[in-house]
Structure 1
């Protein structure tokens, strides 16, 4: 593991990283979908990664 001096980091490029289980709990995502996201993304992911990988069930049929 490499140490980084946090004073030298550019804060404009910082992203909020979520615990996948916490994000799913807050968003009301089913437990099975939560487990799939953890397999795909790992324990932590950005909100954009989570939103792009969530599979929502079809609610409208023709």
Structure 2
């Protein structure tokens, strides 16, 4: 691993990384789905990874 100086980092490429349990709590995802996401992604993931892996039940429109 290399040392990086914080002042020289490009902030445009930085990503916000969520704690999966906190993200699920904030968005109202149930515990079973939270456990599945932790198993698939680990304890931390980007918001894009979380959104692409959440399985939501279909709502019946009729």
TM value normalised by structure 1: 0.88
Which aligned segments of 4 or more residues in structure 1 are displaced greater than 3 angstroms? none
Instruction: Quote the RMSD (CA, aligned, Å).
Output: 1.5
Gaps in structure 1 of 5+ consecutive residues: none
Describe the SS at the equivalent of 1:58. Answer: coil
Q: Residue 49 of structure 1 corresponds to which residue in structure 2?
A: 49
| Counterpart-to-counterpart distance in 1, 2:2 and 2:35 | 30
> How many residues get paired?
62
1:13-40 deviation digits (Å, cap 9, x = unpaired): 0011000000000000010000000000
CA distance in 1 between partners of 2:2 and 2:44 (Å): 19
Distance 2:42 2:2 in 1: 20
User: Any stretches of 5+ residues in structure 2 without a counterpart?
Assistant: none
Residue 25 in 1 paired to residue 21 in 2? no
Q: TM-score, normalised by structure 2?
A: 0.88
